[in-house]
Chain A
Amino acid sequence: MSDTGAPQARPEDPTPGVEVDSTPSRIVLDADQITRVCARMAHQILEANRGAEGLALMGIPTRGVALAHRLAAVMDEVEGVRVPVGALDVTMYRDDLRRQPTRAVGHTHLPVEVDDSTVVLVDDVLYSGRTVRAALDALGDLGRPRAVRLAVLVDRGHRELPIRADHVGSYIPTRSGEHVSVRLAEIDGVNQVSIEQGNDPGRREA
């Protein structure tokens, strides 16, 4: 964990009141750190599963899908194993659909039968836990996995549901008014995780 260079915190103690500097935006993970974090997570996932047997990575659009592909690429490069990668859109399973105008639905793609696979859900930021709750419901309608794990690049705390991640890239303590912005080269042209100020309740959904 110490190789991430990111601020650390215990997962169960995100310390909402912790003093952080109040500049409008600060970078908490740069490109190299993201690469190292992904490599470590890929190893941890394989280690926890005792290999790639029955494993499938399901990214939650949009950035979770890009991360799932990165994890699979590391597994292929370093361990020489090919792990199927898919996408699981959870929009229609959200609990806040009625709170805003109709949301655009993303793409769902199943690389393998969900039944009896070990599905690793991959997302960029774990926050309230509501997206993961929606993902578990969505997955349940697609089949009955042998097990479901959760891998996230950033755990920023402030959970609202009894959900925790199995594999966390970096614990980043935040205030609830802040926004964690994950930018990945595949989508945003740059690799960077930053914390932005400003109360933006509309973003409070991860």
Chain B
Amino acid sequence: MRHLLSAADLDQTQITEILDLAEEMSLVQGRPVKKLPALRGRTVVNLFFEDSTRTRSSFEIAGKWLSADVINISGKGSSVSKGESLRDTVLTVAAMGVDALVIRHHASGAPWQASRWIDAHVLNAGDGTHEHPTQALLDAFTIRRHLRSSTPDLMRFDGKTVAIVGDITHSRVARSNVLLLATLGAQVILVAPPTLLPAGIDSWPVLVCTDFDEVLPQADIVMMLRVQRERMSGGYFPTPREYTISYGLTRPRLEMMKPGAAICHPGPMNRGLEISADAADAANSLILEQVAAGVSVRMSVLYELLGGAE
């Protein structure tokens, strides 16, 4: 594997390898010395043109726990704010001899473009409304662990239903998850108001439903998406209150969930909008497990890309 740009680049064997290795990596969190020497002497640059807390910090921790040198560059406070183009920024950073670039950008396809300009490995940490493959991997890791608590050694998600609820149109998390979960055999049901379903969704390997209450009792995993106010110019739904009533994971909806079903949210949450505090903090909420999984999965991916000979 040279780059990680899309969840579609990964077949089932590669996904299983990454998740199995992430299980080993997760043991590092409990060790007295939280450090493995595998990437000693490698340099990883986090190039973030968009705000991020968990993705950037978990990539940073992942790199550091593998002994790589990690540098963070954000759009604000760098030459990007002086008008430097993406290409010049990427070429400049690559010219310093870095081994991997972790890129987050507001334009869909930016990491893919970057991968064609430079020799270093490129990891997509979220590009516009396109993809966020490491998020899908950490979701799959979290879901697999949850399902393994009742079915040890489970490898694929056949027969399991994952409901992804909310703003599908603007969600790179949804796109990457749809691709990855389909590869693992899960049935994905997208739940959203018609205004937040993208054009061309007929070709996706999913079922689509606009009625949350119809889907909720069938789902083994309920993945709530953030309402992305920063990407919306208005008019997608009448009022936030109305969105919550139709598509929020409210306290009454918690009661409707299938026994043993669990809740995911990629964060950051709008508590009270797409997810109630009761749901976010429920016993079957996997939200903090997802955050912990983020470090392990990103360690695994960095090792897969940078751990061997060039």
Contacts and interface: CB of A to CB of B under 8 A. Distances in A.
B24 A97 contact: no
Given A92-B38, A137-B37, A141-B31, A102 B308 contact: yes
Interface residues of A, number: 21
A97 B33 contact: no
Contact of A102 (B32, B36, B303): B303
B50 interface: no
B27 interface: yes
B308 A100 contact: yes
B87 to A, nearest CB: 29
Contacts of B31: 141-142
Nearest to A110: B27
B198 interface: no
Contacts of A98: 308-310
B38 A141 contact: no
Contacts of B32: 141-143
Interface in A73-127: 89, 91-93, 97-108
Contacts, number: 48
B308 A105 contact: no
Contacts of A142: 31-33
Contact of B309 (A100, A104, A106): A100
Contacts of A92: 36-38, 66, 303, 307
A141 B307 CA distance: 19
Interface string B33-61: 10111100000000000000000000000
Given A93-B37, A143-B32, A108 B307 contact: no
Nearest to B21: A105
A132 to B, nearest CB: 16
Contacts of B35: 141
Given A92-B38, A101-B309, 20 more contacts: A91-B38, A92-B303, A92-B307, A93-B36, A93-B38, A97-B38, A97-B308, A98-B310, A101-B308, A102-B303, A102-B304, A102-B307, A102-B308, A103-B307, A104-B17, A105-B303, A107-B24, A108-B24, A141-B32, A141-B35
Interface of A: 89, 91-93, 97-108, 137, 140-143
5 contacts: A92-B307, A93-B36, A99-B309, A106-B24, A141-B33
